[in-house]
Amino acid sequence: MKVPQLDLVTQYQSIKPEIDSAIIKVLRSGIVINGKNVKDLENILAEYSGNKYGVGVANGSDAIFIALKALGIGQKDAVITPTFTFFATAGSVVRAGATPVFIDIEPDTYNISSEKLKDFVEKNCIFNKKNGQLTNQETGQLIKAIIPVHLYGQMCKMDEIMEIANKYNLKVVEDCAQSIGSEYRGKKSGSFGDLATFSFFPTKNLATYGDGGMITTCLEKYEDYCKIFRSHGSKPKYYHKFVGINSRLDELHAAILNVKFKYLDKWLEDRFQVARRYQKLFKEYNLLDKIKLPLNDIYDLESHKGHTFHQYVIYVENRDKLQEFLQENGIGTNIYYPLCLHLQECFKYLGYREGHFPIAEKASKHVLAIPMYPEITEEKQEYVVAKISQFVN
């Protein structure tokens, strides 16, 4: 049996007439940049994420970069991020001219640890109450913002993070690339921070057939800046307020996303039910004491709002050997992420070493994403778990 880690074709076939029609309408209109489809999606995503404004951009990486620029992040500044995340989170900080400051993660959710964040700020920084500036004692840099990443579909402890941010005058950019539709204490992913960023990369829960991204915010000043910045810093056209970049979400992708958005909550709930089936199967195969699942108390959750399962990630010994075994048996997997950011070659200049963030480093050696998509069948799920059981036992 062949079980891919992600199946885009089956989803496309289920809504093919609508997707094809939307694409043809764009082609026939002749309007392919900044048209009605983009504006509609901006409004839809802003409302869905609990914000007032949306700004479509070319990809999720640009979304983070532009959001940081809107906050005035630049040279001599620092931004706090988790070390266990996709490269774009910290890469965007560097693109903005600032320095990433890494924090360890929680062992259960793999999200940034609010406790470690608090410890770092209290032990390694000085806060000047008069000017509201937080300074890293070791580097002398001003820490301006935090980027909490809602990893794998589950949100960070945003109440605790926002408490720290408010106490130390830090801006917050939520990285919601993997968490669209998730909630934390009744509030949507993207509704806590000053700005939020989304990705529509093909692997995402709301995805186009290429690249795309979105910034959402409740403040008009940030919306205005982001829209100017994404168009070479021009307003009006050919009159440039500052040097921006070319980063636009085009009409074709927006049209596709507007179609898919109608099915988003259903697909998220389907993913949640897939996760529940995995939980049941791992229990039936007596694997709960040998494999750590992404959410052991999944049956305490009523719906996908607690966890949208962008990925279904298990924690297992002999991860690399298991991945090789599953591949030999036609099962697709991925490792998110095999090397923490603080150990990446490009960040050697920051001075981090192995052992600085033990929880994240351990996770990078043991996590494995197994097949997860709304359309996966129970038969395929049982095949996956049976093969994992065969390897483990």
Q: Is residue 2 part of a domain?
A: no
Inter-residue contact 74 to 96 (CB < 8 Å): yes
**pLDDT at 261 (0 to 100):** 98
Asked if the structure places residue 125 within a domain, the reply is: yes
Q: Please check whether residues 220 and 312 belong to one and the same domain.
A: no
Last residue of a domain, one of 232, 261, 290: 261
Question: Are residues 244 and 171 located together in one domain of the fold?
Answer: yes
217 pLDDT higher than 80: yes
User: Which CA distances in Å does 240 have to 230, 231, 237, 243?
Assistant: 12, 9, 8, 7
Supply the pLDDT for residue 71: 98
Which residues neighbour 23 within 8 Å (Cβ) at sequence distance 6 or greater?
252, 255, 256
pLDDT at 295: 79
- Reported as a single tens digit per residue, the pLDDT across 182-212 is 999 999 999 999 999 999 999 999 999 999 9
Q: What angle do CA 196, 208, 384 make, to 5 degrees?
A: 95
Q: Is 368 exposed, middle or buried (0-12, 13-18, 19+ CB in 10 A)?
A: buried
Full residue range of the structural domain in which residue 241 is found = 8-103+110-261
* 387 shares its domain with 252: no
- What pLDDT sits at residue 264? 98
Q: Residue 113: CA atoms inside 13 Å, Cβ hemisphere, count?
A: 19
Same domain (yes/no): 190, 292:
no
CATH number at residue 327: 3.90.1150.10
Domain count, the chain: 2
355 has pLDDT over 70: yes
Amino acid at 41: L
Give the residue-averaged pLDDT of 300-316: 91
Residue 371 token pair = 């097949």
Residue 134 domain-assigned (yes or no)? yes
Amino acid letter for position 64:
I
- CA 180 → CA 103, 160, 306, distances in Å? 23, 20, 11
- Convert the chain into a string of H (helix), E (strand) and C (coil): CCECCCCHHHHHHHCHHHHHHHHHHHHHHCCCECCHHHHHHHHHHHHHCCCCEEEEECCHHHHHHHHHHHCCCCCCEEEEEECCCCHHHHHHHHHCCCEEEEECECCCCCCECHHHHHHHHHHHEEEECCCCEEEECCCCCEEEEECCECHHHCCCCHHHHHHHHHHCCCEEEEECCCCCCCEECCEECCCCCCEEEEECCCCCCCCCCCCCEEEEECCHHHHHHHHHHCECCECCCCCECCCCCECCCEHHHHHHHHHHHCCHHHHHHHHHHHHHHHHHHHHHCCCCCCCECCCCCHHHCCCHHHCCCCCEEEECCCHHHHHHHHHHCCECCECCCCCCHHHCHHHHHHCCCCCCCHHHHHHHHHEEEECCCCCCCHHHHHHHHHHHHHHHC
269 and 230, same structural domain? no
Please say which residue of 261, 278, 303 terminates a domain.
Answer: 261
- Are residues 346 and 202 part of one domain? no
Overall average pLDDT of the 8-18 stretch: 97
Q: How confident is the model at residue 289 (pLDDT cuts 50, 70, 90)?
A: very high
Distance (Å, whole) CA 209 – CA 323? 27
269 shares its domain with 257: no
In angstroms, the CA 301 to CA 183 distance is 12
pTM of the model: 0.97
Q: Are residues 300 and 243 in the same domain?
A: no
Examine residue 3 and state whether it is found in any structural domain, yes or no.
no
Within this chain, do residues 18 and 92 fall inside the same structural domain, yes or no? yes
| Residue at a domain's end among 227, 261, 295 | 261
Query: Most distant CA pair in the chain: distance in Å?
Result: 67
pLDDT tens per residue across span 68-120: 999 999 999 999 999 999 999 999 999 999 999 999 999 999 999 999 999 99
* In a domain? residue 1: no
Confidence label for 159 from pLDDT (cuts 50, 70 and 90): very high
Residue 154 lies in a domain: yes
- The residues, any chain, with a CB within 8 Å of residue 173's CB and separated by 6 or more, are 64, 67, 68, 71, 145, 146, 147, 193, 194, 195, 196, 197
Q: Are 279 and 301 within one domain?
A: yes
Q: Which two tokens stand for residue 117?
A: 């964040």
Residues with Cβ within 8 Å of residue 126, at least 6 apart in sequence: 134, 135, 137
Q: Answer yes or no: do 148 and 173 share one domain.
A: yes
172 within some domain: yes
CATH of the domain at 137: 3.40.640.10
Q: 86 in a domain, yes or no?
A: yes
255 and 279 assigned to the same domain: no
Separation CA 372–CA 6 (nearest Å):
6
Q: Which pLDDT score, from 0 to 100, does residue 301 have?
A: 78
CA-based angle 101:104:110, to the nearest 5?
125
